[in-house]
Structure 1
Amino acid sequence: MSRLVFFCGHAGTGKTSLARRLLPQLMRATGEPFCLLDKDTLYGHYSAAVMGVLTGDPNDRDSPLYLKHLRDPEYRSLIDTARDNLALGISALIVAPLSREVRDRRLFDRAWLGVSNDVSIRIVWVHVPEDVARSRIVARNNPNDAYKLAHWDEYRQRRFVPDSHASRDLLMFDNQSPDPRAYDDLLRAIHGGS
């Protein structure tokens, strides 16, 4: 069985670190090959080149221009790349915010994803309180966060934690300071059952 696993959430929640921590354990637990598809790794240089030409700021990943013209094609291509791997029998772990797609429940829509019923889908929503996320963003000092930090009031309005309806099929993970057992529990939830 191929698996499609998403690690979603807002900036500064630790999605990438969590995914990288669990991926080797997930491969051992399932005995299956996985590819790691991180949006920033796959599209970071491309987006920098495009935004540099369009706005003069290659680090812009949050302006209205970026959100309107590059966000959705990046995410669509990310999912298409995962689907190509799944067709080859390689499970995929995607790391990206995908907040709109979570809110609209598109990640549960097999037709929208383009995957068959024999693909197991798990969606992990990684979250921390806003002040923790902001302090992590400041501490990592990534130039791609400059627009976000300079327009924090605008950015924070897009932040949310899925409510009980939106989170009913999500694997919610509080990544502020998880107990070591929380990682084991999440790993079991990802690979247990279909």
Structure 2
Amino acid sequence: MDFPPSPAPRRLSPGVIGLIIAAAVIVLGLAASLVLLRLTDSPAAPSSTGRIARPVSLLPVTDDYPAPCRTGDLPAGKPEADRCLALGSGMTVTAVDRIEMVYNPPSGWVIRISLLPEDATRFGDLTTRISQQSDPGNRLAIVVDAAVVSAPAVTTPILGPALEISGNFNQQEARRLFDSIRG
């Protein structure tokens, strides 16, 4: 019995090979994203609700100058410890809807705080006011235990209930800050 000859194997076109490679890259990217999400949900990324042990003060910066600091002013904190900040009146948060430690590329570890509705309104008013100022008046110092944790520039009003404290923290520094605020 004679069988017909087998057809020659088909070669994949460069376009099909490109699609296969693109699909593999997408699958690997999704897998990496899932791993990152699992890391932020791990016990190393704690969260809490309700009263916090250490009040968080959110104060407008009125002056930024080289150390030594005048009485009542504070060192600017990491990474500008050689600078001093004069601070105006702002607001102090003593209870939160939620506080959590989150890994947020490229900022690194951050402390994310969801404010209670009345504080969110005050925070929106404060950031609206300072976002209209020029440097250093557009900076908002985040103060915990009489130390400036961060003092970012506010370029637009922050009207949502959430804020993040960032400062290029490694995981251990963020955990220490989280534990200090939460108590």
Which one has the bigger helix percentage?
1
Q: TM exceeds 0.5? A: no
Which one has the bigger strand percentage?
2
Structure having greater relative contact order (Cα 8 Å, sep ≥ 6): 1
Larger Rg: 2
Per the normalisation by structure 2, the TM-score is: 0.28
